[in-house]
Amino acid sequence: MLLIAGFATAASAADIASFEGHWENPKHSMVVNVSRCGGGRDYCAIVLKASAKAQANAAKGGTVHFIGTEILRVRPSGDGTFKGTAFDPETNMHVDATVTMVSAGVMDLKGCALFGLVCESQRWTRISRD
């Protein structure tokens, strides 16, 4: 029993280590930095770079200064999964979010609104660990 618990702990530590770093969205229009935040178990994604179009779309939704905006706040929930909230700057809404680590360089981000009735998924790619 203890051996199984040890493997589960090691796997979740590896998932957390592979989550931190710089990630790019599928459209290559945004780069975020994922790191610890809030002094607890939370991880946040902060916008580092965004295309002119992404910044204009965010501004239309009410986010005038998109660079530096926190768009994701999650905490580990086990098995390479993180749960929390994502911010959609185009609609100015916070939605439930689930991040699943596919590999050390790939994560799936799923955001759901309206009690899970409307969901959207994206596959993000790591571009560096810095």
In the structure, what pLDDT confidence band is assigned to residue 11 with cuts at 50, 70 and 90?
A: very low
Q: Which of 2-16, 28-42, 107-121 has the lowest mean pLDDT?
A: 2-16
Task: Provide the pLDDT for residue 130.
Answer: 58
Domain-wise residue ranges, the chain = 2-128
The matching CATH number, chosen from 3.40.47.10, 2.40.128.520, 2.40.160.10, 3.40.50.10680, for 2-128 is: 2.40.128.520
Q: Which residue has the tokens 């999964």?
A: 81
In the structure, what pLDDT confidence band is assigned to residue 8 with cuts at 50, 70 and 90?
A: very low
3-state DSSP assignment of residue 88: strand
Burial class from Cβ neighbours inside 10 Å (0-12, 13-18, 19+) for residue 49 reads: middle
* Statement: residue 108 has pLDDT above 90: yes
For the record, the structure tokens of 58 come out as 């965010």
Task: Provide the pLDDT for residue 5.
Answer: 35
In the structure, what pLDDT confidence band is assigned to residue 94 with cuts at 50, 70 and 90?
A: very high
